[in-house]
Amino acid sequence: MLLLETEQTEADNIVQLVCSANVILEGFPVIKNPPTSGFELSEDEADREITFEKLFRSDGLFQWFTYRQTLPVAVAIAAEAWRNKKLLYAIHKLAQSYETGCVTPWSMHPRYGQVFDKHTDNFTSHVGTSVAINLAYSAIEELDLGVKASREVPRSVGNGTFVWNPKVLDPFKARLRNAGIDPERTIDWVARGDQSEVPVYEMLNQPSETSDGVEVRDRQISVPDAINFSEFLRSKMTAHAFSSESSRLGPYEVYNVQQIARFLILTKCNLWNTWTEELRKRYN
């Protein structure tokens, strides 16, 4: 429970931001129908006692309240983002992406191999996948961490293979550093099962430590490459009229784009790999 001495609209915005931040932390919308608004407590002590008695202790009402171990950190994220509207919208967009379509983070562990079908013939699923990817990449753009290229200054100077154009990559890396993100950091881009992915995967050539080259074909790529691949999926297959390859997208592509967006947001909030004790010291 948050006690907020403010107007109703602002209180609701705070509650909703904390809930969205918690979805990002857990990487999965664990809480169904999270609270979307606060409620007023009377200044009269007797009325407050009645509220506490009926609302917090009555069966059918106290179930509205929930507890997750991640909630204190979600409040910390909300505090970091509150005065930064771009970051705030990035959090809400990524949370909505998870609500639209996602898989549990633990199901992506290499020891499980391929858990999900890579594609489906279900038309509604194709739309849900595309919306989830669009929202996740839009969250990256809210942070001003998308790839900035044009016909005059293309992102690649390669002929047949992808090679970054320094005129695009160098300022891109500078924007990442300004956001507190190491552009040389690598992450795992998940690829499982038979090699039936979209052409973007032809650029992936560095197997992760856990890759067996057959069922687990995860690749280790840099942060700029991960953002670039995410932008490719969004621009070429999901943001506009579907191409013939859009139906080849599935849960693994959604997970990959959401993961890089999640990493960027948490790092921007200075909360990536932050231990509880560190958080306590910071706010003390």
pLDDT of residue 64: 67
pLDDT of residue 265: 97
User: Within this chain, do residues 15 and 67 fall inside the same structural domain, yes or no?
Assistant: yes
User: Within this chain, do residues 99 and 199 fall inside the same structural domain, yes or no?
Assistant: yes
Asked if 102 and 132 count as a contact pair (C-beta separation under 8 A), the reply is yes
pLDDT of residue 203: 67
- Long-range pairs of 190-195 with CB within 8 A, sequence gap ≥ 24: 190/108, 190/218, 190/252, 190/255, 190/256, 191/217, 191/218, 191/219, 191/252, 192/113, 192/114, 192/115, 192/118, 192/216, 192/217, 192/218, 192/252, 193/113, 193/114, 193/118, 193/217, 194/118
User: Within this chain, do residues 222 and 110 fall inside the same structural domain, yes or no?
Assistant: yes
User: Within this chain, do residues 101 and 74 fall inside the same structural domain, yes or no?
Assistant: no
User: Within this chain, do residues 198 and 246 fall inside the same structural domain, yes or no?
Assistant: yes
Mean pLDDT, rounded, for 259-267: 96
Please report, in angstroms and rounded to a whole number, the separation of the first and last CA atoms in the chain.
Answer: 20
pLDDT of residue 60: 64
User: Within this chain, do residues 111 and 251 fall inside the same structural domain, yes or no?
Assistant: yes
pLDDT of residue 201: 61
User: Is the residue at 278 inside a domain?
Assistant: no
Range of the domain at 19: 8-83
Asked if 261 and 135 count as a contact pair (C-beta separation under 8 A), the reply is no
pTM for the structure as a whole? 0.91
User: Within this chain, do residues 148 and 261 fall inside the same structural domain, yes or no?
Assistant: yes
pLDDT of residue 33: 75
Q: Pull the structure tokens for residue 222.
A: 């840099």
User: Within this chain, do residues 55 and 67 fall inside the same structural domain, yes or no?
Assistant: yes
| pLDDT tens column, 5-33 | 888 899 999 999 999 999 999 999 987 77
Last residue of one domain, picked from the residues 61, 83, 105: 83
pLDDT of residue 86: 96
| pLDDT tens column, 140-164 | 999 999 999 999 999 988 776 788 9
User: Within this chain, do residues 23 and 77 fall inside the same structural domain, yes or no?
Assistant: yes
Q: Considering its fold, how many domains does the chain have in total? A: 2
Query: Which one has a higher pLDDT value, 60 or 284?
Result: 284
| pLDDT tens column, 43-60 | 899 988 888 787 777 776
Q: How far is the C-alpha of 174 from the C-alpha of 209, rounded, in Å?
A: 28
Report the helix count and the strand count for the chain, using DSSP H and E: 9, 2
User: Is the residue at 99 inside a domain?
Assistant: yes
Last residue of one domain, picked from the residues 29, 60, 83: 83
Query: Which one has a higher pLDDT value, 35 or 128?
Result: 128
| pLDDT tens column, 73-98 | 999 999 999 999 999 999 999 999 99
Tokens 């950190």 sit at which residue?
73
User: Is the residue at 74 inside a domain?
Assistant: yes
Q: Decide if pLDDT at 171 tops 80.
A: yes
| pLDDT tens column, 196-252 | 877 776 666 788 888 998 999 999 999 999 999 999 999 888 888 888 888 889 999
User: Is the residue at 276 inside a domain?
Assistant: no
Q: How far is the C-alpha of 160 from the C-alpha of 237, rounded, in Å?
A: 20
- Surface-to-core class of residue 25, CB atoms within 10 Å of its CB (0-12 exposed, 13-18 middle, 19+ buried): buried
User: Is the residue at 130 inside a domain?
Assistant: yes
User: Is the residue at 92 inside a domain?
Assistant: yes
User: Is the residue at 105 inside a domain?
Assistant: yes
pLDDT of residue 200: 73
User: Within this chain, do residues 127 and 53 fall inside the same structural domain, yes or no?
Assistant: no
User: Within this chain, do residues 226 and 239 fall inside the same structural domain, yes or no?
Assistant: yes
**Which residues lie closer than 8 Å to 187 by C-beta, 6 or more apart?**
220, 221, 223, 226, 259, 260, 263
User: Within this chain, do residues 126 and 221 fall inside the same structural domain, yes or no?
Assistant: yes
Q: How far is the C-alpha of 103 from the C-alpha of 106, rounded, in Å?
A: 9
User: Is the residue at 273 inside a domain?
Assistant: no
